[in-house]
Amino acid sequence: MTPVALTIAGSDSSGGAGIQADLKSFAACGVYGASVITALTAQNTKGVTGIHPVPADFVTAQIDAVFSDLAVGAVKIGMVAQAETIAAIADGLTRWAPRHVVLDPVMVATSGDRLLAAEAVDALRTRLFPLASLITPNLPETAALLNETTAESEADVEAHGKRLLAMGCRAVLVKGGHGHGADSIDYLIDGERSIALAAPRIATANTHGTGCSLSSAIAAGLAKGEDMETAVRNAKAWITQAIAEADRFAVGHGHGPVHHFHKYY
């Protein structure tokens, strides 16, 4: 059967992040992609100028339409925008019980624009974390979710990761793209171990959609039957190359997109 992954996220009108990046990532990783749109954004490589949330009952309708017909192997959740949307997603996933859920707690865009209402953060923790196979916060998101300062050491990252695990998710990938040093180190943390995944830090301004794309690539791997560590390792290698090839594009005047299809052109 054709592997299917579902993205539940916001739309990026410039095509570099959100639903558009997720569907590109699924396709690049050999998986059929379906989508549930939670919000429309007026957005480009320079920033977000408007957000129009989709009504929660229509988010529910999209979820039910997809799951009632398609054999969804994994779900990726990105921008959820507001508490009502989070409740609709949580109820829908509880109803349909997909095997794998990868949650990218999108709070702030690459441009610095806020994408999650402040009052919705608690709902994100309490309603969606317990449903997640994996959450994929970057270092600033990890700190914000814990009301802490940003981790500066490996020990800090591991301690923060374990605190997030205690909120109910089964594994955490703390992304190190906002860190310092020659390597960008992500940490995959579950109840038994912490695995450091290093890749050379790439000097480029074209990083729009990296978090969306990585979490989608992980979901694609899980949809294909890979175990969590394999899916994360393969996705990390793929996004690293997509970032390395990003400067082949000349798109926009701000943070340009990564090259999702670097293997093909």
Among candidate residues 211, 221, 236, 240, the one labeled active-site is: 211
* 209 given a catalytic annotation: yes
Show the CA angle centred on residue 7, arms to residues 5 and 12, nearest 5°: 140
3-state secondary structure of 4: strand
In this structure, what DSSP letter does residue 96 have?
H
Among candidate residues 212, 221, 236, 256, the one labeled active-site is: 212
Q: How far is CA 132 from CA 94, 175, 181, 196, 261, in A?
A: 11, 17, 30, 21, 28
Q: How far is CA 61 from CA 66, 116, 182, in A?
A: 9, 22, 46
Let me know: does 93 contact 131? Beta carbons within 8 Å. yes
* 175 given a catalytic annotation: yes
Among candidate residues 45, 85, 110, 207, the one labeled active-site is: 207
Identify the helix (H) or strand (E) that includes residue 146: helix 139-146
Instruction: Look up residue 44 and give its two tokens.
Output: 């480009």
3-state secondary structure of 109: coil
* 207 given a catalytic annotation: yes
* 211 given a catalytic annotation: yes
Among candidate residues 175, 177, 221, 236, the one labeled active-site is: 175
* 212 given a catalytic annotation: yes
Instruction: Say if strands 47-53 and 74-77 run parallel, antiparallel, or are unpaired.
Output: unpaired
Among candidate residues 15, 18, 73, 209, the one labeled active-site is: 209
Let me know: does 105 contact 141? Beta carbons within 8 Å. yes
Let me know: does 13 contact 43? Beta carbons within 8 Å. yes
* 168 given a catalytic annotation: no
Q: Which residues have a catalytic role annotated? A: 175, 207, 209-212
